[in-house]
A and B are shown apart, each in its own frame.
Chain A
Amino acid sequence: MTDHLLSLMTFFPLVGMLIILFLPREADKLIKTVTLIVTIIVFFISLPLAFDDVFLTSSAMHYTEFVNWISVGQYFQMNYYVGIDGISLWLVMLTTFIMPIAILSTWNAIEKNTKGFMALALLLETGMLGAFISLDLFLFYVFWELMLVPMYFMIGIWGGKNRVYAAVKFFIFTAVGSLLMLVALIYVYYFAVKAGVPFENGFSIIQFYQMDIPGNLQTWLFAAFAFSFAIKVPMFPVHTWLPDAHTEAPTAGSVILAAILLKMGTYGYVRFAIPLFPEAAMQFTPFLALLAVIGIIYGALVAMMQDDVKRLVAYSSVSHLGFVMLGIFAFNLQGISGGILQMISHGVSTGALFLIVGFLYERRHTRLIADFGGLSKVMPVFATVFMIVTLSSVGLPGTNGFVGEFLILIGAFEGGLRVFAVVATFGVILAAVYMLWMFQRVMMGKVTNPKNENLKDLSARELAIMLPLILFIFWIGVYPNTFLDKMNPSVENLIKQVKGKQQIAMMVEDVDQTVTFITVND
């Protein structure tokens, strides 16, 4: 059973999808219930991972499965090679945890074509889980692209007014990057084979990690990977798909997009781009850190001026993900662990924010800040929940947002990105500005719009959606060691490996300059 735990978890949603395809279209509630049950089952399947203490001490991949998948003579071989370590563990858990919540949030929101929506949601879950557990680059790519399709339809069919533009933009933006990555990954493979990596290992990243790729080549390959991931993150100049996609997507779509899909980009950096091309990563560090910091400030500034709540939250994601990138490129334990923790927290709190916006939208069918005001009076419970989530997003100590940001900043400060860290810290102020201003305009003041007077407070279902998220907001905030302890060994290992290579590269460079003429043969 545990031998195939990951596969079971990943492909169970597909089974669920098949079941759903055979249900009658009209059985709205039944379809939703089945989907919910499926996602909950997936969550329970994945639960033993979270309680496995092996991650506390070991940095290796666990629960690995290795099956030969596509094998063509001496041309190439792809394997179904999956496994998780401390880095992917929590992202997997986040996925399985967010999915039931997202599904539950659709209860009243999705009314047309429920069947299609649920099928797509389950397909999406498979894609996301698969991407997080893949240890074979090719397999990763397959899952990575697989995620695009359901999201495209979710935005396009169930989205808002401008959904077509948003959906197409989302799709093409992401695909352009990933196609370049495809070229790069094929190149890496052939390079590896020529360098003597056994052909049978396929696109196994564990093997690729061992390789020494010449510096110049690394630069190009890293650029391709980094570009692809940067779009997904999204980093500063290539972020504009995100506000559109987030704003137009239905609530569940936004939640999944923000909570999980965006993490693909940052995860990609940690798992692929950096350890595969450590020297290039080092070269690119100032550049990417700069972009990350610009993203932090820029996202916050733009978020501040938004008049649409959802768009605001979307831009806040740009800002928050900038922190994650900064942490990752600090190249030290605090930075990267903080980055990963921040991925989780951002998943939780931004997911929650989108849910909240969704609640508002369901009630009023508008997302414009100006249409609200004074809701605290009408919806006190909602106000409390909203406040907590807002604070978590602001990064108040004691909530999840703080721990991640703190670790990132301290990591960046320690890791030689001091100026960036200072500027990024400034972003913390702006976060308070835009979030609280939004909160004020939506929740405080007098009820000016008569339509707002009789809004219902949160229902039990809605509260049930929010409570687990709030629980985690505090859990991560108060006792993050639950999460940190299990990711630290892997992160430490990653850093050791990356740093080691970087140092060797630097030494070699020095040696090269002096000893070139001594060595004659290649």
Chain B
Amino acid sequence: MENLVEIALQNVNMAAILPSVILTCFGMGLLLINVFLPRGTTRPAVWISIIGLVVTGFFVFSGWGDPQYGFNDAVAMDNYAAFFSIIFLFAAGLTILISDNYLHREGYPVNEYYPLILFATAGAMWMASGTDMMTIFLGLEVMSISLYVLAGFFRGQVRSNEAGLKYFLLGAFSTGFLLYGMALIYGVTGSTKLTEIGVYLSAHSSLLDNPMTLAGLVLLSIGFLFKLGAAPFHMWVPDVYQGAPTPITAFMSAGPKAAAFAAFLRIMEYCFFTLKPEWTAMLWVLAVMTMIIGNVIAIKQTNIKRMLAYSSIAHAGYAMVGMVAANEIGYSGILFYMLAYTFMNIGAFAVLTLAGKKGEDNLTLEGFSGFGFKRPYLGVAMTIFLFSLMGLPPTAGFTGKFYIFAGAIDAGYIWLAIIGVLNSAVSLYYYLRVMVYMYFRDPVEDYSWVSLPAAAVISIVIAIIGVFYLGIIPGDVMELAKLAVF
């Protein structure tokens, strides 16, 4: 028996999971503390979770450049995971900062909200750092289940219920495909460890023609493509994004999407590098479809939240271009882009959070008439984020897109790059339309000064700094992204 414990302990390497452990500890601690807090007091929870994220971030940073493996190759805290972890932490942090005021306004000052975000973040980190299918799968589920709950968090709101339920049903459905794919891969290779799968596949070239491998590859991809919101698995995205509480929408569009990329990319690169021509071809088609569907449908949206949902589909499409490129520039481009996207998209949603009224019926374009003059600071912030989403220099959106398209062009995918930029051109229209309403129309209601909550302001400021930092002097972060890929 001691023998077993020893074997078990041999594989334990706490350094490999330290950040996520700290994060879950903070989550559990918060759950405990919440018991003692009076109802409706959420401030402490906000700051404790922020501290938790900062501490986690510190440990992530301190582990940079020193990859840690452990648990019998179930997890690898390498630069790749660290970079993605930073993205998740930023996403979570910014989300938490914009949530407090929002939850109070909407009448759900429930403390469990914060631990759930922390758990979702931890799940995302396991997805990014998992090198075993089981770790990845469980991380995915931790994240997803937290998100199901968070999406349906406003139990009294039908929209929120609907979003949660739709997300849940479709998510569970897609999990079925994901698992089936994993099962097939397990059958073909006899392992669930990514590296072993990869080695096995490259050692047995006959496997590359085995329909089971290919079916497994596709089915596995479906699960991640669903989380990414890639067409034709994107259809949940607008509905869920629109119905979910706005900060959660913000979080979903950044954190979990990045997590899906993290896991998807790692699996593809670790396991299926021998099948690269096949899956890049597949992703080529899907990326194009995703970009087109996202951008085109967004044009006719009248609800800004829903419009941003479609735009987020389109952005997933751009990021997929980096995967199609399947070279280091493209991969690191994805990393960089997801970070950039986190800042700009959460920033945009943060503004929406502050712009909304209870029930959020005014998030239509009409409701934004004259917004830039009614709320000048928020207007400027929104403008910056929208320009970044468009991909105009000197913002993060531009450098991100540049990075990814550079990858695609370097790999020779000129047409993909052209389709990509033409899609950006289409996207200009609907982003500009928001600004048209914000600045070129007269306000429908009278202007009244609303004081801005400090936390949310901090979040927006961080996002703006991020957008410009990554837009003007992105070199360092790009270098980090470069070091982060395998």
Contact = CB atoms under 8 A, between A and B. Distances in A.
Contact of B432 (A69, A163, A171): A171
Interface in B436-486: 436, 439-440, 473-475, 478-479, 482
Given A146-B394, A172-B428, A180-B418, A73 B479 contact: yes
Interface string A134-177: 00000001100110110011001100000110011001100110
Contact of A182 (B387, B421, B428, B440): B421
Given A148-B392, A153-B439, A164-B440, A183 B409 contact: yes
Contacts of B332: 72, 75
B418 A163 contact: no
A172 B392 contact: no
B135 interface: no
Contact of A145 (B392, B433, B482): B392
Contacts of B406: 75-76, 186, 189-190
Contacts of B433: 168
Contacts of A180: 418, 421
Given A70-B478, A75-B329, A75-B332, A183 B425 contact: no
A172 to B, nearest CB: 5
A459 interface: no
A179 B422 contact: yes
Given A69-B475, A146-B393, A179 B440 contact: no
Interface string A323-337: 000000000000000
A141 B393 CA distance: 8
Interface string A496-518: 00000000000000000000000
A66 interface: no
B429 interface: yes
B435 interface: yes
A33 interface: no
B27 to A, nearest CB: 36
Interface in B375-408: 387, 392-394, 398-399, 402, 405-406
Assign chain B's interface to a size class. Answer: 35 or more
A384 interface: no
Contacts of A167: 432, 436, 440
B439 to A, nearest CB: 5
Contacts, number: 94
Contacts of B478: 70, 72, 75
A182 B414 CA distance: 11
Interface residues of A, number: 34
A179 B432 CA distance: 16
B429 A187 contact: no
B263 interface: no
B440 A157 contact: yes
B424 interface: yes
Nearest to B373: A113
A71 interface: yes
Nearest to A76: B406
A72 B425 contact: no
B203 to A, nearest CB: 30
B196 interface: no
A504 to B, nearest CB: 26
A72 B482 contact: yes
A73 B439 contact: no
A72 B406 CA distance: 12
Nearest to B432: A168
A168 B429 CA distance: 7
B392 A182 contact: no
A176 B387 contact: no
Given A176-B425, A179-B424, 4 more contacts: A142-B394, A145-B393, A145-B398, A168-B436
Shortest beta-carbon contacts, A-B, top 5: A179-B421, A142-B393, A70-B475, A72-B478, A176-B425
Interface of A: 69-73, 75-76, 113, 141-142, 145-146, 148-149, 152-153, 156-157, 163-164, 167-168, 171-172, 175-176, 179-180, 182-183, 186-187, 189-190
